[in-house]
Amino acid sequence: MQDHPHSDVLSPTESVPAPAAFLDRDGVLNKDIGYAHRADQIDWVEGAAEAVRRLNATGFRVFVVTNQSGIARGLYSSEAVDSLHWWMAEILRRRGARIDDWRYCPYHPDHQAERFADKASWRKPAPGMLLDLMRHWPVDRDRSFLIGDRSSDIEAAQAAGIAGHLFAGGNLEAFVAAILDDREAD
C-alpha cells in the first residue's frame, strides 16, 4: 500500500494548515456500479470536476478516501486501483480540478483479513484513512468536512472529529456550494 501523491501543489511538509474536503469515491465522484477498478467503468457524477475545482478555488485541500474491498475479495489488484486513481486525477486535472491526495482501504473482515490486517483501522466507518491524511498534510480540522454516500462515511468523519455530509446523488457542485454557503453563513 503506497501513498498516492497526485498533487501539483507543495509537498505536505511545506504547506500551511488548510481546511480539507474528504470525498468518498464511488457514489460521490463517480456513480457506484460496484467494484469499479478500470477507467471504462467510471461514469462521473454530474458536477464532480466543478465541485473539486470550487473546493480548490476556495482554499480547500481535496482528498479521496475509499473502501476498496474488491482487492481483498480478489476481484482486482492494488495496482489496478492505483492506475485508476492516476487516470481519474489526470481527467480532473484536465478539467482544472486537483485532488491533493488519495487513500484506499483493501481490508475486509470476511476476505483475506490477515493479509490486510494492518489496514483494518482504515476501513470506514473507522477513521484511519482520514487520520493518515491529517498526519501527512497540515489540516485545519475545524473547517474540514467529508462528503460520502453511506452512513459509514459519516461515522468515519465523526470519529475523525470533522463534519460529515451525506450525498444522496444529484449535482455534486451544487451540493458542495450549499455546504460552503452554510459554512460562510455561520
Distance CA 147, CA 24 (A): 6
Helix (H) / strand (E) element for 83: namely: helix 78-94
The helices-and-strands tally (H runs, E runs) of the chain is: 5, 5
Contacts (Cβ under 8 Å, ≥6 apart) of 150: 24, 27, 124, 166
End-to-end CA distance of the chain: 39
Give the residue numbers annotated as catalytic, written as ranges.
24, 26
For residue 146, give the 3-state DSSP assignment. strand
Q: Which one-letter amino acid corresponds to residue 178?
A: A
